[in-house]
Amino acid sequence: MSSPVATKKRASDASSASSEGPEDKKSKITPEKKSPHDIYFETRNAWLNEHKDINGAILIRGIPSNHDEEEEDSDDESEEAAKTRQNNYTTEQMNALRFIMVNKSREKWLDEMNELVLGEQANEPFKMFNTSFSYEVLDSWFFLKDRILPRKSQAQKLDILMAYTYTIKRNDCWMHDNEGGMGELVKGLAGAWKKLLKNSDEKLGWDLEYTKPAVIELLEQFKKEIEDMDSCYEMGKFKYN
């Protein structure tokens, strides 16, 4: 799929560096010497083993890199250096991570929202955006609101709105290059979220350990990005809560 869903079996490092996961036999870390990084991902792996419907995860908030921009990319980092860096993460840093756990429904809607928002560019490795993209994003919201959301269950609406918000945040050129009118999208999307979040966790069908805090983090990030825009764009406030 085109959306960045990390599978269970992929590297567990919260930053972008490639590394062995907490079950790597080469690490030979005794129980009393386990790092907060290893403890976190062992706990997460145990949770995943109990939730077989989850086939991947999206990292919403990671651990900021301390590397200077001029240093080598993390892809070039040695295994030993990556392990040392991971072992230096604190419990507070690890607990600040936010992952949306992706089941079959969320994977489906991530793909569909990617197609809806990006159209012919959805599967292109390099994308080109101009002012017209803002009109396409606005049209995608009207289509979503009028044609997709009605008659869906609350759990389905959660998956759809999450996927849509993630997609338009990830491809945020429309925020900076438009000719006005985007406040209608911001207000409408915020209202849809506000109404949806009045439902119980049971009706929404999200897990409380990972997905709920990650979705709230996604909304907070989106809210900040919208409300940090210059007033000339007339985005308004993203009042989702």
Model pLDDT for residues 161-199, shown as the tens digit of each residue: 999 999 999 999 999 999 999 999 999 999 999 999 999
Q: How confident is the model at residue 3 (pLDDT cuts 50, 70, 90)?
A: low
Comparing 15-29, 49-63, 193-207, which segment has the lowest mean pLDDT? 15-29
pLDDT score, position 163 = 99
pLDDT score, position 15 = 46
Comparing 24-28, 209-213, 225-229, which segment has the lowest mean pLDDT? 24-28
Residue 7 burial (C-beta neighbours within 10 Å; 0-12, 13-18, 19+)? exposed
pLDDT score, position 72 = 46
The answer, yes or no, to whether residue 210 has pLDDT greater than 90, is yes
Comparing 22-36, 192-206, 227-241, which segment has the lowest mean pLDDT? 22-36
Model pLDDT for residues 115-143, shown as the tens digit of each residue: 999 999 998 888 999 999 999 999 999 99
- Residues 175 and 182: beta-carbon distance below 8 Å: yes
Which phi and psi angles does 57 have, rounded to 5°?
Answer: -150, 150
pLDDT score, position 65 = 81
Quote the mean pLDDT of the chain.
88
Domain ranges (residues) in the chain: 25-101, 104-233
**Both tokens assigned to 167:** 């997609």
Model pLDDT for residues 61-84, shown as the tens digit of each residue: 999 987 554 444 556 789 999 899
pLDDT score, position 75 = 62
pLDDT score, position 124 = 87
pLDDT score, position 9 = 45
User: Rounded to whole angstroms, how far apart are CA atoms 70 and 79?
Assistant: 20
User: Rounded to whole angstroms, how far apart are CA atoms 220 and 139?
Assistant: 24
pLDDT score, position 32 = 64
- Residues 62 and 15: beta-carbon distance below 8 Å: yes
The DSSP bridge partners found for residue 61 are 98
The answer, yes or no, to whether residue 146 has pLDDT greater than 60, is yes
Model pLDDT for residues 79-98, shown as the tens digit of each residue: 999 899 999 999 999 999 99
